[in-house]
Structure 1
Amino acid sequence: MNVVVTGATSFLGRAVADRLLKQGSKVYGVVRPGSQNMRYLPADQPGFMVIERELEALDTLDQVIGGTCQAFYHFGWDGSGSENRMKREVQQRNVRDSLKALEGAMRLGCSRFLFSGSQAEYGIHTGPLSEDTVCDPVSEYGKAKLDFLRQAEETASKWRQSGISSMEYIHARIFSVYGPGDHPWSLVESCLRAFGRGEYISLGECTQMWNFLYLEDCVRALMLLMESKKESVSGIYNVAAPECETKPLREYIRQMYETMGYHGSYSFGRRRPNAEGLVNLIPDIRKLEEETGFCPHVSFSEGTRKTWGYEKRIDMEGKMWYER
């Protein structure tokens, strides 16, 4: 296929692009002009083309991509870090820019558009979260992701009714993903680094229910949705590990401590909750399972070993690669 991946230097964007290239797709990786992270891209691989575009100009991609594309993965989103998640002006700009991406996909003749939504759209709940759960987001980040869902569904519906485009809109509501290449300040990376070095780490209460999904499994779930042979897979899908993997966050911490050979130390209750408060993640992924047959291949113990087993290296040309 000919596939567009925006946010191609992001954690998920890089992984999706790599997987698509391995299966023989032509990949257009969209990045911001002058991005320092472009050195992480597989620009020298056959089938990969880097396109430098600001997020607000994603409706003009047809000017540089010749011909039709079949699929469009949209990961480009500004201000996903904690300090910007509560800034309305930053997050609402993302909504406007993502609508430009949707228009860009339509102009390219894409059959499907997949957007990286977030569990933050649900807000704070104590029970299981299905796609039908009422959303009441706390952060501006979650509100913006939900705003885009509503506007994108309405826009795609109007296009279908008017005969402009039959493009399907897939809203992947992604929960907590970890793996090689994640941000160094993420919980899994921070714990593995501390325990791997025999150091101490202070943590929050970690009493909330949580659910982790390994990067490779997340990418496979997204691609199963995008490449499904079913006539239509439009709609919202929770992307997470199954119910059996949901457990108190403290259990995940203890599991990482065990995996790393009980080196270092940790304590709970020393850090304040993030801006969105104490959130429970209890995803219901039955819809994803029923529509695609998705089942994770990597357990948390294996995933953390894989994550720690890859050391980030920068070669002489400034490109990142991973080594066991």
Structure 2
Amino acid sequence: MKIIITGSTGMIGLALINLLKNENTVYAISRPNSDKIKYIPQHPNVNIIECDLNNLSSLEDKIEEADIFFHLGWMGTYGNNRNDIYSQIDNIKITMDAVKLASVLGCKSFVGTGSQAEYGNHNETLTEDTSINPSTPYGIAKYTSGKLSRLYADELNIKHCWTRILSVYGPGDKKTLIGSCINAILNNQPFDTTNGDQVWDYIYSGDCAKALYEIAINGVNNQTYIICSGKKRRLKDYLVDLKDCINPDYELGFGKRDYNPNQVMYLTGDISKLEEDTNFRIETSFEEGIKKTVEWFKENN
């Protein structure tokens, strides 16, 4: 098959390319002059195309046809950029442009990547039916993109599935808490954090990529799927396991930072719907995934 991936240099995008490259033709769409292009695997089936997300229509002349479109690309995913209203509004239009491009190129399946931020702050296990109450421009834009792209895909007769991804870690992860912690330990720098009492659900990027592929192939049209491991643990326990994998003698700075005013203390999900509709099953334990992630950091630090 011929597969398009926007956001190809991100952690999930890289995992998706690695999953698909051997038996498919992959078009990896990357921001022009991105310093992360070097992480995209060199493979005869992987075609790297530099294109700004605001100019997706230009790809009509660079790709003849495709079967599946994975839209992972998003501007303003970290820090204060999540609260930049105008940037987030741009992302809604970009998502519509992605659906249009998928149609022009003959794609039969469109998979968009949303976020747990669409739900807002809930102290319960998230399901596809949990009430939606986004509290940030990022969360609102993700939810709006999911709803509007579904309507547009229906109009263009393309299968549409939206995903709400919880916490992911893996190779290519440099900005999230897990990535920052790995980097600090490897460089013997202090890592100050909260008490770590948050209860979270982490999924390895390779498993997340497999979930996305299963959804593209076997997911139900117009369905939204939560992507996570379905297992919950205290954040402190995750970080201790991470530390022990690299340097058991390293001291994590628990309790040296206060919780943010809007700190999410409970972030877990139920993947029953995903497992029911597709062949997806979690394959990678946190311990296994962390070992692979640490090795990537050592090679690319």
TM-score range, shorter chain: over 0.9
In structure 2, distance between residues paired with 1:104 and 1:41:
23
In structure 1, distance between residues paired with 2:181 and 2:239:
8
Give the C-alpha shift of residue 37 in structure 1: 2.7
In the alignment, structure 1 residue 223 sits paired with structure 2 residue 213: yes
Does the 8 A contact of 2:166 with 2:268 survive in 1?
Answer: no
In structure 1, distance between residues paired with 2:109 and 2:188:
47
In structure 2, distance between residues paired with 1:267 and 1:52:
40
SS at 1:200's partner residue? Answer: coil
SS at 1:227's partner residue? Answer: helix
Q: 1:275 to 1:255 in 2, by over 3 A?
A: same
User: What do the CA deviations read for 1:34-67 (whole angstroms, capped 9, x no partner)?
Assistant: 333323333x52122222222122134222212x
In structure 1, distance between residues paired with 2:31 and 2:182:
31
Q: 1:37 to 1:283 in 2, by over 3 A?
A: same
Which residue of structure 1 aligns with residue 33 of structure 2? Answer: 34
Code of the aligned partner of 1:277? Q
Q: Any stretches of 5+ residues in structure 2 without a counterpart?
A: none
Give the C-alpha shift of residue 132 in structure 1: 0.6
User: What do the CA deviations read for 1:179-212 (whole angstroms, capped 9, x no partner)?
Assistant: 12111x4222232334445553210232221011
In structure 1, distance between residues paired with 2:141 and 2:200:
23
SS at 1:266's partner residue? Answer: coil
Does the 8 A contact of 1:123 with 1:279 survive in 2?
Answer: no
User: What do the CA deviations read for 1:299-322 (whole angstroms, capped 9, x no partner)?
Assistant: 1112112211234546xxxxxxx9
User: What do the CA deviations read for 1:203-260 (whole angstroms, capped 9, x no partner)?
Assistant: 02322210111111111111111122x7x44311000002xx2022122122223333
Code of the aligned partner of 1:93? D
Structure 2 length as normaliser, TM-score? 0.92
Structure 1 residue corresponding to 2:256, chosen from 245, 263, 270: 270
Q: 1:57 to 1:306 in 2, by over 3 A?
A: same
Code of the aligned partner of 2:173? D
- 5 Å matches for 1:138-149? 138-149=135-146
- 5 Å matches for 1:86-105? 86-105=83-102
In the alignment, structure 1 residue 309 sits paired with structure 2 residue 299: no
Does the 8 A contact of 1:82 with 1:275 survive in 2?
Answer: no
- 5 Å matches for 1:236-247? 236-242=224-230, 245-247=231-233
Does the 8 A contact of 2:12 with 2:206 survive in 1?
Answer: no
**How many pairs are equivalent?**
301
Which residue of structure 2 aligns with residue 69 of structure 1? Answer: 66
- 5 Å matches for 1:287-306? 287-306=273-292
Give the C-alpha shift of residue 261 in structure 1: 4.7
In the alignment, structure 1 residue 180 sits paired with structure 2 residue 171: yes
Does the 8 A contact of 1:195 with 1:262 survive in 2?
Answer: no
Q: 1:224 to 1:110 in 2, by over 3 A?
A: same
Structure 2 residue corresponding to 1:121, chosen from 118, 123, 128: 118
In the alignment, structure 1 residue 50 sits paired with structure 2 residue 35: no
SS at 2:163's partner residue? Answer: strand
Which residue of structure 1 aligns with residue 82 of structure 2? Answer: 85
In structure 2, distance between residues paired with 1:7 and 1:257:
29
User: What do the CA deviations read for 1:145-180 (whole angstroms, capped 9, x no partner)?
Assistant: 0010111122223x1xxxxx3211111111111112
Code of the aligned partner of 2:62? V
Code of the aligned partner of 2:192? S
Q: Any stretches of 5+ residues in structure 1 without a counterpart?
A: 160-164, 315-321
Which protein has the larger Cα radius of gyration, Structure 1 or Structure 2?
1
Structure 2 residue corresponding to 1:212, chosen from 202, 210, 213: 202
CA RMSD of aligned residues (A): 2.1
Give the C-alpha shift of residue 82 in structure 1: 1.1
Aligned-pair identity in percent equals 32
In structure 2, distance between residues paired with 1:152 and 1:96:
9
Which residue of structure 2 aligns with residue 5 of structure 1? Answer: 5
Does the 8 A contact of 1:194 with 1:264 survive in 2?
Answer: no
In the alignment, structure 1 residue 111 sits paired with structure 2 residue 102: no
Code of the aligned partner of 1:293? N
Q: 1:55 to 1:261 in 2, by over 3 A?
A: closer
Code of the aligned partner of 2:200? W
Give the C-alpha shift of residue 272 in structure 1: 4.2
Code of the aligned partner of 2:227? V
Code of the aligned partner of 1:114? V
In structure 2, distance between residues paired with 1:272 and 1:89:
30
In structure 2, distance between residues paired with 1:37 and 1:198:
24
Once the two structures are overlaid, the 10-residue window that deviates more, 121-130 or 286-295, is 286-295
Structure 1 length as normaliser, TM-score? 0.86
Give the C-alpha shift of residue 292 in structure 1: 1.2
